[in-house]
Amino acid sequence: MYAGREQPEGGDTVHGSGGEAEVLRVVPNGIGGRENAVVQWSTVHERAPGYPALKAPVQVPTQSLALVRRKSS
């Protein structure tokens, strides 16, 4: 469940400590035995000078995320 008490779904756009991200999948018993989401942050960083890249997907607790919008069907 997100910080605002909404149920997480794949494709959601969320906001967390890393900025804005897309939920790739929900993991019911993730790290620490809690509900987690695998997210792809939309923040771009330089992997090497002159080579911008997205940060790698990470697993974070859903309670640390706030829903921004649902994926439109």
Closest by CA to 4, choosing from 22, 71, 15, is 15
* pLDDT of 54 higher than 90: no
Give the mean model confidence (pLDDT) for residues 22-29.
95
Give the mean model confidence (pLDDT) for residues 49-71.
92
Which pLDDT value is given to residue 44? Answer: 83
Give the mean model confidence (pLDDT) for residues 15-43.
92
- Does 7 map to a domain? no
The residues near 69 (Cβ < 8 Å, ≥ 6 apart) are: 12, 13
pTM score of the predicted model: 0.84
- Does 4 map to a domain? no
* pLDDT of 40 higher than 80: yes
Query: Which strand (E) or helix (H) includes residue 71?
Result: none
- Between the CA of residue 52 and those of 10, 40, 46, 55, what are the distances in Å? 26, 15, 4, 10
Number of domains comprising the chain: 1
Residue linked to tokens 């794949």: 10
Which pLDDT value is given to residue 61? Answer: 95
- Does 48 map to a domain? yes
